[in-house]
Amino acid sequence: DTGVSQNPRHKITKRGQNVTFRCDPISEHNRLYWYRQTLGQGPEFLTYFQNEAQLEKSRLLSDRFSAERPKGSFSTLEIQRTEQGDSAMYLCASSPNGAVSEKLFFGSGTQLSVL
Amino acid sequence: GEDVEQSLFLSVREGDSSVINCTYTDSSSTYLYWYKQEPGAGLQLLTYIFSNMDMKQDQRLTVLLNKKDKHLSLRIADTQTGDSAIYFCAESRQAGTALIFGKGTTLSVSS
């Protein structure tokens, strides 16, 4: 297993277009998280899943954002009608069971640029 | 509210010790973490400390926690050029699982 995989690595889109990112967590990791990171900032929590259930969503996750994890394995994050303010690095992380003491394994992220 | 504050930049010479500081506001934080981010890479967990501990040592890394002052520090002994990266302090609360990150401290190590 090579860790958390995210695709694509980079995405350039025009304002108003929809984009979708994919995250493949480490096998058998039940928890999957999405974070967003802008330049000069730390990662900001967006949402997380326990298996296929989406358990928490941040206030940052507007109604243009939707995340799914249909079979409890990979996850997708879709942004509809993108805005320039959506430009950021979108990070995915996974952990075995979500215990507070568990470490998160992060992917390398998808860099989104909205023109 | 919840907030994690870090100094933004630290410059040291190779072989010196580096000390990166962090303050947090949520007294219910259970675990406090240090993550490292190298250019173009995801975050990598370096170490963590449980809130009932004062100190944790792991090879070149020493974490000190002052729970009364809500102050956390990471000391890197014998800093190497490969330690140049952004270091993030993060906290987790008992009730939730989302990590709250600081803005990161950029460590620059010169030879």
The per-residue pLDDT for A104 is: 85
Residue A43: which of B40, B43, B45 has the nearest Cβ? B43
The strand ranges marked E within B1-111 are 4-6, 9-13, 18-24, 29-37, 43-50, 55-58, 61-66, 71-76, 85-93, 100-101, 105-110
Residue by residue, pLDDT tens for chain B (111 residues) are 458 999 999 999 999 999 999 998 877 777 899 999 998 788 998 998 988 889 999 999 999 999 999 999 999 999 999 999 999 999 887 544 678 899 999 999 998
Facing A103 at nearest CB: one of B30, B45, B98: B45
CA distance A36 to B99: 12
Would you give the DSSP letter of residue B83?
G
Compute CA distances B92 → A18, A32, B48, whole Å. Answer: 32, 16, 11
Closest CA to B48 of B26, B63, B67, B38: B63
Q: What would the two tokens of residue A41 be?
A: 């900032």
Query: Is B31–A42 a contact, with Cβ atoms under 8 angstroms apart?
Result: no
Interchain CB distance below 8 Å, B48 and A103: yes
In this structure, of A15-29, A33-47, A64-78, A94-108, the range with the lowest mean pLDDT score is: A94-108
Which chain B residue is nearest to residue A50, measuring alpha carbons?
B97
In the block, tokens 């009730």 appear at: B95
pLDDT of A14-56, one tens digit each?
999 999 999 999 998 999 999 999 988 999 999 999 999 998 8
How many A-B residue pairs are in contact by the CB < 8 A criterion?
Answer: 57
| Band of pLDDT at residue A101, cut at 50, 70 and 90 | low
Token readout for A15 is 């304002």
CA separation (Å) from B58 to A105, B20, B61, B76, B102?
A: 19, 16, 5, 10, 22
Which of A42, A98, A108 lies closest to B97 in CB terms?
Answer: A98
CA atoms within 13 A on the CB side of B95: 4
Query: Smallest CA–CA separation between A64 and chain B, in Å?
Result: 21
Taking a C-beta distance cutoff of 8 angstroms, is the pair A20, A77 a contact? Answer: yes
